[in-house]
Amino acid sequence: MTAKVENAVWGKRTKAVYAEPTAKVCANCEWYDQHYSKGWSNVAQLVPVNSGCCCVRVDKLSEGEAKALRLLDNKLNESEWDNELLSVELDELDALDLGDICIDWDIASDQEPDEDDGSYYGDAREKTVNGYNLHDYDVSRVSGFYQMPVLRRVNHIPKNIIGFNYVLTAKNTDAGVHFYLDDYQFERIWNSPQKYIAKLKAFDCVFTPDFSLYADMPMAMKIWNIYRSRLIGQMMQDAGITVIPTLSWAEKETFGFCFDGLEQGGSVTVSTIGVKREKAARKIWTDGMDAAMERLRPKTVLVYGGDIGYDFGIAEAVYFENTVTERMAGNGR
């Protein structure tokens, strides 16, 4: 049984995914067949008796993968959920990495809060505090006008690195973890930091999240994304993880805050992905890198995406290839 409460859709038959190898028909088709036998004419036009299952059969799935597939398919259909059962199933899927798929499972309470209850506003405030990770913010360990959380300097070079999206399935933890991915693939670490920090502790080191700073973003959003990266980094350091700051910036106006919270002389990481394509992008990257080198004076710069000919001076530059590009090249693309 899955956590979804199926809704009948009159006039069409839902094309669900069939992931139960032992069943003759999926629950959706079974519903229609049962009501056809009761003589419901509008169903009779859709599903002939003994027609079998119209849905797609997916073989060779593990039990966990089949369960994840059912949940994702049900999520897309957007009907009512059995929240209690959904929570149980999601807990059971904790070790299954869904890769590029990122779903926000908003499990709402079945009971509306009572505003007459004296605890109502306290509970609501606590949810807000937790949502912004304010319990982990330490005003005594911040720097700059925008009070960016401070990260302790480290000098470390990982042997190799993997993307955060592979953390749950990685067999070799003797590697660093990077966040050079689309933001939606790691937004979950902000939403559930303790859950993922506990898993990241097994790895050699972790880069701070690379929340995007697009030039056309409002400045407030750019400040917020730098803050979030620093806070997650500080939380990881507090958990005993070797943390390497990820450098990111946009136009020159961001230089006033985007390096706040970082100590001089340690290891930092930066991406060169997309820099070669456009002259304007290269200019922004070079200006920001110049500012970072002057202010932070790093001992080591871990570069993700290849050498673009930038002179890092006395700092040691260590290059890591873009794994996405490598996979595409391996597939003949």
Each residue's pLDDT tens digit, 255-265: 999 999 999 99
Low-confidence ranges of the chain (pLDDT < 50): 1-20, 36, 39-51, 325-333
What pLDDT does residue 292 have? 98
Q: Is-contact 173 158, C-beta < 8 A? A: no
Report the C-alpha gap between 66 and 19 in whole angstroms. 6
Q: Average pLDDT, whole number, for the chain?
A: 79
| Residue 128 burial (C-beta neighbours within 10 Å; 0-12, 13-18, 19+) | exposed
Length of the chain: 333
In 3-state terms the chain splits into helix, strand, coil percentages (rounded to 5) of 40, 10, 50
Report the C-alpha gap between 23 and 157 in whole angstroms. 52
Q: Is-contact 156 203, C-beta < 8 A? A: no
What pLDDT does residue 124 have? 84
